[in-house]
Structure 1
Amino acid sequence: MEEVKGKLIALGGGDDDGLIKLIHSKICSLTSYIEVIATAATEAEESGQAYKAAFEELGCHNVRFMRIDEEHSADTADNLNRIKKANVIFFTGGDQVRLADFLNGTKLLDILRRRYIEEEVIIAGTSAGAAIMSDKMIYDGYGHYSLIKGEMKTTTGCSFIKKVFIDTHFAERGRFGRLAHAVAHDPDYIGIGLSEETGIVIKKGNQVEVFGPGVVTIIDASQVAFSNVRAAAENEPIAVENLKMHLLVNGYRYCLKEHLFQPIVTFGTLIPVENAAVLATEKHPAANGTAKAN
């Protein structure tokens, strides 16, 4: 399988100064091209121009706001030319279903997906802009009601990465239940819950690393022994045995394909992914961080 060259940077919402500065630090040159897409926002023009100004304040010279909505098609010749040369594509927060609806099925999104695989491009987003990054996304489910069959809903995302659910405002809005429900329903997916002001960088389409002061929650249903999620009737609560959870903070990463939690650095040395399983058990016996939900 071809190695992914691009990076995904996703923030859980809230204050995004740290995200803007991180993106800036990842750019090789202040002349790099940045495209801001604010389709998800209620006031798209205002939001797009605000993010444009935020990047420009850091010295970035080639920042543009790309208008995509009911009156502005994604697939204009100008948009396609701009997206082909953009070094960073930034998606604002708002309504993730609206954002995905306007992008899915477009040539613009096809170009972005190809470039993410083949080129060292950065695709970044906050809140809704983070939630759309996978092939499936959660768009409904509130508090304890999300553990009732039919209350948690998913739809198609933009498919930069597959087999993950990215949920935002995770701790602040009590979204553990809906993310747990989603991965229990689709156990080949990994759930990633992002707290506000905290986010992830996904490298090589596999390595999830944390930035920011908070906690990223990983929920893994690959070892579930029993679940009634598919058999339960509508409006009945779900039951799941042996759901695994990890709490990830800055300095640690999670490898999606290997289902592996690991410290990034030990004794000043970066741990290669292939050596991580041995080191994680020998030097960090608590690193598995598992919890069962019965």
Structure 2
Amino acid sequence: MASSTSPAPRRRPPTLLIIGGAEDRVGKATVLRRFVRLAGGKRARIVLIPTASSFQDEVVAAYTEVFTRLGAPEPTVVNPQDRLESQDQALVRLLDDATGIFMSGGSQLKLSQRFPGTPLGDALHRAHARGAVIGGTSAGASIMSQFMISMGDEGITPRQRHSQLSAGLGLLQGAIIDQHFAQRSRYGRLMSMVAASPSLIGIGIDEDTAIEVRDQRTFTVHGSGAVFVLDCRAATSDAPDARRGAPLMVSGAVVHSLPAGATFDLSEVRLVDFVEKHPDVAVALASAKA
């Protein structure tokens, strides 16, 4: 006799949506639309964490408007004001029930002080492991990695000791994330970090652009900008010897520039697929050359 028991639903792989900041909220909202879809759409249970922001009421209002406009129910807000509140079990239960968790921009040091090593931080890891999508923009993107750039100078040239690392959540291992990448000229500071720590891969994400990371292994790019991957594993650098503020010598680094439609393997550090997502741009360029 056949069993009447329905098969268990397939568990979603651990998924991160890491956004470079200033994502479109009023037009197509491509990146945030992807977050809502991954969280479950009209059945989503989204928790919004505005903790990093200095304008928390405005952030809550803005994301509540866009998430509901994109079809999700109104999000629940979790906003610990200090490390003690990050132990509140009522807040922990809200994260344990979420299908999507979104961290806003602001100061990543606020997130670093209140989440890693706390019950709320542990709840974020549990949510990620069971398949809830963890999204973050700007500061909320940087906190995803094990180590994050908490401050640093802007500019193209990598310089010695012009940036500082702090502890992140470690949801993404083996990488350092930087955001607002092209718009705030952050190539130099990210290159200086991975030149000094070549076992880490640098990931710089433009504004209105995101990487969707599955199972810690591969990511796909969404949005209107590009993602830069900096690989210094085989590079030569004078980072151990350069004086403070000096331009760094870095030779042999590999840089990948990845627009929407690119899929990248983080474990092998290589492009695995590319599907053109901006055909209008391609047509315009072809017409200009004709």
Common fold: TM-score over 0.5: yes
Which of 12, 37, 41 in structure 1 is aligned with 2:20?
12
The C-alpha deviation readout for 1:178-215, integer Å capped at 9, x for no partner, is: 11111101101111111111111011111111001211
Indicate the larger mover: 179-188 or 11-20.
11-20
Partner Cα separation in structure 2 for residue 244 and residue 145 of structure 1: 16
2:246 match: secondary structure: coil
Letter in 1 for 2:126: R
| CA positional deviation for 1:19 | 2.3
SS at match of 1:147: coil
Determine which of 236, 250, 265 is the counterpart of 1:255.
265
- 1:31-46 matches, within 5 Å, as 31-46=43-58
Alignment of 1:22-33 (within 5 A): 22-33=34-45
Give CA-to-partner distance per residue, 1:150-183, whole Å, 9 cap, x none: 2121111111111111111100111000111111
Which residues of 2 match residues 94-173 of structure 1 at below 5 A? 94-117=106-129, 119-144=130-155, 147-173=158-184
Cα deviations by residue, 1:45-96 (Å, 9 ceiling, x for unpaired): 3212321232122232252111211497122121011111100000000001
SS in 2 for 1:245: strand
User: Are the equivalent residues in 1 in contact too, given 2:39–2:45 (CA < 8 A)?
Assistant: no
| Higher mean C-alpha deviation, range 171-180 or range 149-158 | 149-158
Once superposed, what is the RMSD of the aligned Cα atoms?
A: 2.1
Aligned amino acid, residue 131 of structure 2 = E
Q: Distance in 1 between matches of 2:24 and 2:124?
A: 23
Residue of structure 2 in register with 1:186 after alignment: 197
1:113-158 per-position Cα deviation (integer Å, ceiling 9, x unaligned): 13312x1110001111111100011122223486221212111111
Give CA-to-partner distance per residue, 1:203-258, whole Å, 9 cap, x none. 1111111001211111001111x211012232332111101101111221111111
Give the counterpart of 2:232 among 215, 221, 228: 221
Letter in 1 for 2:158: L
Aligned equivalents of 2:74, 2:63: Cα separation in 1: 13
Distance in 2 between residues matched to 1:184 and 1:130, nearest whole Å: 21
Q: TM-score, normalised by structure 1?
A: 0.83
Q: Is the 8 Å Cα contact of residues 253 and 263 (structure 1) preserved in structure 2? A: yes
Moved more, 85-94 or 13-22: 13-22
| Match status 1:201 vs 2:209 | no
Aligned length: 262
What TM-score comes out, normalization by structure 2 length?
0.84
Q: Distance in 2 between matches of 1:196 and 1:31?
A: 28
Q: Give distance in 1, aligned partners of 2:157 and 2:117.
A: 30
User: For residues 147 and 234 of structure 1, do their structure 2 counterparts lie closer, same or farther at Cα, with a shift above 3 Å needed?
Assistant: same
Gaps of at least 5 residues in structure 2 are: 1-10, 277-290
Partner of 2:8: none
The structure-2 alpha-carbon separation of the partners of 1:57 and 1:144, relative to structure 1 and needing over 3 Å to count, comes to: closer
Gaps of 5+ in 1: 267-294
One of 233, 243, 247 as aligned partner of 2:243: 233
- Say whether 1:77 aligns with 2:85: no
Structure 1 residues 242 and 145: alpha-carbon distance in aligned structure 2, compared to 1, 3 A threshold: closer
For the residue of structure 1 that corresponds to 2:122, the secondary structure is helix
